[in-house]
Amino acid sequence: MSVGVVGLSGEFGLDTIRTLMSSLGVAVILHGERHVVDDANDEFAALLGYESRRDVIGLPLRRVVGAVQGEADTRPYGDLPPAMSTRTLLRADGSTVTARVRRAVIAAAGGPQEITVVDQVIDNYERVIDKLRWQVHHDQLTGLLNRGGFAETRLTNRWLFPGHVHVLDLDRFKQINDRFGHVIGDEVLVAVSSQLSQIAEQTGSVAARWAGDEFLLLSSVSQHQQLEKLLHDLAVDLEAGVVTSIAVSVSHGWALASSVDDFPLALSTADARMYCAKRHV
């Protein structure tokens, strides 16, 4: 939203300016030569996380409006000429939000006053894009990579090859859902995923939720022995009911992928070995 403050003409009393500020519907502050906030509206206070506009009034201008990192002109905001610019707004809790602000001079009774209008909050856009990107590549329940995220990671981390593909599948998981309910079933999936995430971090591997109760790990050959031990320990703890509130068993199969192009065949082999192990459960 753009507010045409620059087009105002004539001399305004402070009460008139404050009435204008309260009616704009966007975040606004009033400041003068002292480089302090002389007034603010409720929208500005809320944007910066203050309980009331009174908490903002009297603050040094530099305490609420700062420079944007990486921009060429890092002069204090009060020293910049009136114009549209991108600035960092400093919130009450110490966090920041990036916004486009419009600054203009108003002829007020008693001397010129400057008014700053927050034209567009743009920091939230970047956060939304990052969040969407994360959601596209991760399983929403467990936080592990999904198939798409795993595929992208596999293709962009060729140093993992030659590597081992591990497939793990929880045994009789449908019976767990039928007997204990899906809430408990989800808790089991989240707990197992958390353990696999820790194992992946310890071994430099990549973990993913491949299907409902099926998980995938890709590790470099150098980490195979350590990974096998950690997965064995996890299986023991699952059966003992240490990881989750109920005892769970897991079937496991693995295969070697000599290169990134060999991954589909290795996955098929590991999957077949996992199902072979499951037949003996």
- As a whole number of angstroms, the longest Cα–Cα distance in the chain is 90
Catalytic residue, candidates 38, 39, 169, 213:
213
**Is 213 an active-site residue?**
yes
Contact at 8 Å (CB) between 190 and 144? no
The DSSP 8-state label assigned to residue 36 in this structure reads B
Task: Please name the amino acid found at residue 132.
Answer: L
Contact at 8 Å (CB) between 105 and 10? no
Neighbour-count burial for 123-147, b at 16+ CB within 10 Å, e otherwise: eeeeeeeeeeeeeebbbeebebbbe
Tell me if residue 57 falls in helix, strand or coil.
Answer: coil
Contact at 8 Å (CB) between 275 and 254? no
Tell me if residue 257 falls in helix, strand or coil.
Answer: strand
Which positions are annotated as active-site residues? 213
